[in-house]
Amino acid sequence: MGYQVKEVADWVGISIRTLHHYDHIGLLKPSSVTETGYRIYSDRDLERLQQVLFFKELDFPLQRIKEILDDPAFDQKQALRMHRELLIRKKERLEGIIRTVEQTIRSVEGGFPMDKKEMFTSFSMKAIEEHQRKYSEEAKRRYGNERVEEVEKKTASYPWIRSVEVKRVNPSGSALDLPGKNGRGEGARHF
């Protein structure tokens, strides 16, 4: 069964123009185009679109998403598991920031100073690393050391995982600005 571009755009909540752009850059090609020029998307195309949106939610650039999805080593099941893990981390981080905002509001409204450590708790890389350690321990209890190590080894070889690792080091999600050969901060722009 096929779905026209307007139908897909309505389901997803994106514009027809966005779908046309994805087609133009080769990120999401429709399975077929009618004689009258209508793009027709298959169920498989919709699965790819879902992956695109998952990666976009994690702030990956479109070109990088295309490279990941076009990689013959791409494993959809593993990618879905990783999306889930990263989205849970993102949610937990945002919940921490919301708690800090709420504490700051109470502090401002109450006219009392906020504990300096509490002001920055949700921005702490130490807290993020602690959460990752706990997640890894839980996964090992649930699935066993061998299985977790196997998955970690397998996923570490995916080029897109390295992009995620960079985001772990630079959680703002912005491109890293490390000194490059020219000394102008272009050392890690490829991430």
CATH of the domain at 59: 1.10.1660.10
Same structural domain, 38 and 123: no
Q: What is the mean pLDDT of residues 150-174?
A: 53
Q: Which of these three, 37, 70, 103, is where a domain ends?
A: 70
What's the total number of domains in the chain? 2
Mean pLDDT of the chain: 78
Boundaries of domain holding 48: 3-70
* 8 Å CB contact between 5 and 19: yes
Is 190 inside any structural domain?
no
Same structural domain, 92 and 32: no
Same structural domain, 46 and 95: no
Is 185 inside any structural domain?
no
Q: Which of these three, 70, 92, 117, is where a domain ends?
A: 70
Longest distance between any two alpha carbons in the chain, whole Å: 70
> Which contacts qualify for 55-63: CB closer than 8 Å, 24 or more apart?
55/83, 55/160, 57/83, 57/87, 58/83, 58/86, 58/87, 58/90, 58/164, 58/167, 59/167, 59/173, 60/160, 60/163, 62/22, 62/25, 62/27, 63/25
CA 125 – CA 145 distance, rounded (Å): 25
In this prediction, residue 69 carries a pLDDT of: 93
Q: According to the per-residue pLDDT averaged within each range, which of 12-21, 98-107, 180-189 is highest?
A: 12-21
Alpha carbon dihedral 118, 119, 124, 128, in 10-degree steps, equals 60
* 8 Å CB contact between 19 and 28: yes
**pTM for this predicted structure:** 0.58
In this prediction, residue 186 carries a pLDDT of: 41
Pairing, β 3-4 against β 32-33:
unpaired
Q: Which of these three, 17, 37, 70, is where a domain ends?
A: 70
In this prediction, residue 20 carries a pLDDT of: 96
Position 189 pLDDT exceeds 60: no
In this prediction, residue 82 carries a pLDDT of: 87
pLDDT tens figures, 39-91: 999 999 999 999 999 999 888 899 999 999 999 988 888 888 888 888 888 89
